[in-house]
Structure 1
């Protein structure tokens, strides 16, 4: 198979792979409407034939077989009346043709935009169902680019142009058939010349289009990445006066984008400026040939009118097909990016089992009664040469507390992430009441956990929505909300010091709150879920001594009501825990007396 045909077939296969789950019936309806559009285009064009024939020689059409059949549809009338009726029929047919054309284009655009919405949600859901290690190996700017940029380029730059191309191809074929019935030699010559012309131009620009495609791929990704890094870290960027550095990095990618998008219309329209004089020249030659054969002008006029109007419709269709295929070729990278994102998880057998898309839905909490047991648990990060955690064994009875201390890199956060089900042990296993913590159990297990990290992630919204994280307003329990805040010792601050109370907007990432307030909001969020297991990962490391003391006091008040795992650098942070593991002492880690 020639490379060009192979590439086209592969592109169509990938496009259909992504579009098929959205609905085969919808796609079939779009194709059917495109065919109807082509048929009505031909009807609109051929409807002028009787009008032109009557205008040229009304008596001749009365004598012809076609004219006799046409006139039998109406009562007897004079030539002027007949011309008026034929003109009205032609106008109505053209209006109907244009109405179907408009309806078809609207349906294709509506389908493409609704599909883009569906695909964006599906892609984000797919990403959310991946293992945590998936996100460690990817840049969030690249993922945003796929969800927003690539999906938009795929639908607007590939899918919609392909649907338009199908409609235009239907139209072009039927118009050529119509021309063939009127003037077969001229129609066949036009099809060969115009087809060869567009194919040659398309093939000549193939290498340039591939260069544009690759440049767009890298510059779009770079633009997303650099803008996100600058805005996401705006505080250190401003403090270190690094604005120009990040702006220049973004500017390089943006300049390439501007250049590539400027080239695309040239590639798409270059053929048009030569084909129009070529087509008109062909029409002139056809008229001269017919005249040279001694044909009467009244004979030529109807055929000439149909050919002219058909050409008027055919040339834009051919040009649009060429322009759309050029755009599709230049946007191929968007199809590949989205396609690869869906296919990668199915073909990569080296990753742990993937929690399927359905698992992102809320799950019922897992109820356990006895203990969490770690049996010779080890973990190695993907691509790492050494174990981050090795041979750890322990038993954590329910309603007791475990402190985990050790220097940076000793494995505290790794242990926490294993307990959260974000990683799966390289060796050994974690048991909950004797049941292994498997990917199938993880959704319900996480539903029973409250988690307070070192850096609390707050959304740019109210305190209420930050504490009842992920719940719609109608499902937020106000009594439970106040209870969680009271346990986290932040209720008085919210109600007494904030003008809007729980309706106060905290700003992006909680920028309007202090570090201690953010930590206690995080603790309230964890407690709102009424977890059976509360995990704190370096939750006090960024707090001053006084704030840390208040935070630990709030935790101490929860002792005996739930199971706690507290990971910290300092022994003081785990002083009230019933068991303490020092990961720096030896391997496997030793349980030491917190006192």
Structure 2
């Protein structure tokens, strides 16, 4: 239950709805407990009419029922019975109205809380750093925001409503039962302690199993999500059967645990029925004995009244198990949600963050970096100084640390040792959003949203820039993808499908480049962004970029050597260290690692040609 305290601020936010809902529940139940009293009075009227009870007995009813009785006594017995029937119907209608208002306040409040909580979780997800997403699966993230929040909603809505309902109805019913006949009430309610013990034992088991089931559901969701995303790989390697068996295994484990939980919960309802049945039997038996041996004491009307109270308590008492189960499940789900909400991002804005205008002067000063989730040393004693307007190439084999440089520059990570500064300001002192807003980044892993080509290109316009089609066209032209877009049926309004699945690899890369160019920053970082294009298109793009980047600072990360682009400096990396720097001709004259890479590339091109 302690995990559900995280919801207190939501209840405070919607306190008026909650308060009104409680009031409507109490009023609804108040009119509900009046019906048995009116029914008991009818039985007493019939007894008096047949002479079973010789005189009018003192009644112990609610003040409103007493007022009604005073009015009804002025009529004949037949008219009284008809009047009582109409009154019971009116009481039911009034109760129904307040039940409607009760749901309109409590259940609607739970929907508002669900909305707020999903927004809170999603907003928090957006603040978490890159390392968090490397260590948590997408399926688990989705499950916590969807399934777990839905279970919490069952607590903030139905569980609270039923809990208040059963407390108020039980208290009112027991109050009037004790007021009418304390000893009979004691006999009737005797089975309830057994019910309380049963609820406690079963709910302890349910709580543990609910946590296990939620974890299994996250695994199942992750398995399905990965299969959908990688369906082309699965089909190309003919692994449909293997993937289905893997999914089936996870599904079987989830099913077995869910069925086990359902069986455990199934103990509630037979237990409720048995105990309610015992209470009804005790009411009729003991009340009947009293009526036989003392006709002027316990009356038939009292027995009928108690039977109605017991049957009225059937749903709330039965709902104790259901409500407790919902609360336990919600607590387990809220615990999982809290784990993420209480996860603080490692990369955060500093106090009094600086918001400078980026010019493009970059300095890496004795930077070491170790990936926190793997312990891999990506960079060692990395020093690089780039002046405004320079074009820098960073070359090296896979795993040499090239992409790490881009991630550090965008402050996806902070250096383990050393510092990085732009225009003399340490990145850790700069406003995160302002920093990233002024840098265009083309990632190695291209990602397109399931949206139109235009919206993908204009995903991140420059600050203050207007979003329009001309910007998208210009960016597509520089990225050498304009002609292909023009041949699409809907041109720039063409939907690209999930992750750009309807486009070729080269088209996706070039649209990703266009997205970066549309931003029009002073600093551009390209991370191996031409790996999926042919030689002719590569030459065309490099020609366009040389024009576009004329007065901008650019870092082009690649495993290929571009001889057609005039770089100010080429940095050669190997195992996280700079092994060579210089221009293309200077590095060739050294006849070192760069020359070796260049010779390998030429040989590969000759073999492919």
Q: TM-score, normalised by structure 2?
A: 0.85
Match of 1:111 among 109, 112, 129: 109
Quote the Cα distance in structure 1 between the aligned partners of 2:294 and 2:153. Answer: 53
Aligned match of 1:88: 86
Aligned match of 1:249: 246
Contact 1:131 1:355 in 2 (8 A): no
Structure 1 residue 171 displacement after superposition: 1.6
Aligned match of 2:2: 10
Match of 2:409 among 389, 411, 419: 419
* 1:460-515 CA-partner distances (Å, limit 9, x unpaired): 221112112268xx9732222222222222223222x1111111111222122222
Moved more, 456-465 or 59-68: 59-68
Contact 1:48 1:306 in 2 (8 A): yes
Quote the Cα distance in structure 2 between the aligned partners of 1:40 and 1:76. Answer: 23
Aligned match of 1:359: none
Contact 1:120 1:147 in 2 (8 A): yes
Moved more, 383-392 or 313-322: 383-392
Quote the Cα distance in structure 1 between the aligned partners of 2:431 and 2:371. Answer: 22
Closer, same or farther in 2 for the Cα pair 1:450/1:68, shift >3 Å? closer
Aligned match of 1:307: 306
Quote the Cα distance in structure 2 between the aligned partners of 1:225 and 1:21. Answer: 35
Quote the Cα distance in structure 1 between the aligned partners of 2:67 and 2:139. Answer: 68
Quote the Cα distance in structure 1 between the aligned partners of 2:66 and 2:161. Answer: 41
Match of 1:138 among 126, 133, 136: 136
The 5 A counterparts of 1:373-412 are: 373-412=363-402
Moved more, 100-109 or 442-451: 100-109
Contact 2:60 2:179 in 1 (8 A): no
Structure 1 residue 129 displacement after superposition: 0.6
Closer, same or farther in 2 for the Cα pair 1:202/1:108, shift >3 Å? same
Verify: 1:128 aligned to 2:122, yes or no: no
Moved more, 48-57 or 109-118: 48-57
Moved more, 387-396 or 525-534: 387-396
Match of 2:194 among 191, 194, 197: 197
Aligned match of 2:469: 478
Aligned match of 1:228: 225
Aligned match of 2:528: 538
Structure 1 residue 63 displacement after superposition: 8.1
Moved more, 82-91 or 423-432: 82-91
Quote the Cα distance in structure 2 between the aligned partners of 1:456 and 1:278. Answer: 68
Contact 2:73 2:80 in 1 (8 A): no
Structure 1 residue 132 displacement after superposition: 1.4
Quote the Cα distance in structure 1 between the aligned partners of 2:576 and 2:308. Answer: 88
Structure 1 residue 320 displacement after superposition: 0.5
Quote the Cα distance in structure 2 between the aligned partners of 1:176 and 1:20. Answer: 29
Structure 1 residue 423 displacement after superposition: 0.7
Moved more, 582-591 or 281-290: 582-591
Structure 1 residue 318 displacement after superposition: 0.6
Contact 1:574 1:594 in 2 (8 A): no
Structure 1 residue 226 displacement after superposition: 0.9
Contact 1:413 1:537 in 2 (8 A): yes
Q: Secondary structure at the match of 1:421?
A: coil
Quote the Cα distance in structure 2 between the aligned partners of 1:34 and 1:136. Answer: 48
Match of 1:520 among 498, 502, 510: 510
Aligned match of 1:283: 283
Q: Secondary structure at the match of 1:212?
A: helix
Aligned match of 1:463: 453
Q: TM-score, normalised by structure 1?
A: 0.87
Q: Secondary structure at the match of 2:570?
A: strand
The RMSD of aligned alpha carbons is 3.1
Structure 1 residue 71 displacement after superposition: 5.4
Closer, same or farther in 2 for the Cα pair 1:44/1:71, shift >3 Å? closer
Unmatched tracts of structure 2, length 5 or more? 586-609
Q: Secondary structure at the match of 2:413?
A: coil
Quote the Cα distance in structure 2 between the aligned partners of 1:46 and 1:204. Answer: 36
Aligned match of 1:581: 571
Q: How many residues align?
A: 570
Closer, same or farther in 2 for the Cα pair 1:63/1:77, shift >3 Å? farther
* 1:376-408 CA-partner distances (Å, limit 9, x unpaired): 222111154453112222222222222111111
Structure 1 residue 530 displacement after superposition: 1.8
Contact 2:539 2:564 in 1 (8 A): no
Structure 1 residue 54 displacement after superposition: 3.4
Contact 1:267 1:326 in 2 (8 A): no
Structure 1 residue 567 displacement after superposition: 0.6
* 1:277-327 CA-partner distances (Å, limit 9, x unpaired): 212222222323322432259x62322222122111112101101222134
Quote the Cα distance in structure 1 between the aligned partners of 2:20 and 2:156. Answer: 19
Verify: 1:34 aligned to 2:28, yes or no: no
Match of 2:162 among 145, 161, 164: 164
Quote the Cα distance in structure 2 between the aligned partners of 1:85 and 1:538. Answer: 87
Structure 1 residue 253 displacement after superposition: 2.3
The 5 A counterparts of 1:328-407 are: 328-330=327-329, 332-345=331-344, 352-354=346-348, 367-369=357-359, 371-407=361-397
Aligned match of 1:6: none
Q: Secondary structure at the match of 1:344?
A: coil
Structure 1 residue 330 displacement after superposition: 4.9
Quote the Cα distance in structure 1 between the aligned partners of 2:342 and 2:432. Answer: 23
Quote the Cα distance in structure 2 between the aligned partners of 1:368 and 1:592. Answer: 25
* 1:60-112 CA-partner distances (Å, limit 9, x unpaired): 55986979854555795444333333332221112211332243234333222
Point out the structure with max Rg over C-alpha. 2
Closer, same or farther in 2 for the Cα pair 1:241/1:88, shift >3 Å? same
Quote the Cα distance in structure 1 between the aligned partners of 2:428 and 2:102. Answer: 50
Unmatched tracts of structure 1, length 5 or more? 1-8, 346-350, 357-362
Q: Secondary structure at the match of 1:205?
A: helix
Moved more, 576-585 or 241-250: 576-585
Structure 1 residue 21 displacement after superposition: 6.8
Aligned match of 2:592: none
Quote the Cα distance in structure 2 between the aligned partners of 1:268 and 1:62. Answer: 41
Quote the Cα distance in structure 1 between the aligned partners of 2:247 and 2:517. Answer: 42
* 1:185-219 CA-partner distances (Å, limit 9, x unpaired): 2223433421x121222244356425532441332
Quote the Cα distance in structure 2 between the aligned partners of 1:278 and 1:146. Answer: 43
Structure 1 residue 416 displacement after superposition: 0.3
Structure 1 residue 422 displacement after superposition: 0.7
Quote the Cα distance in structure 1 between the aligned partners of 2:583 and 2:283. Answer: 98
Verify: 1:54 aligned to 2:53, yes or no: no
Q: Secondary structure at the match of 2:496?
A: coil
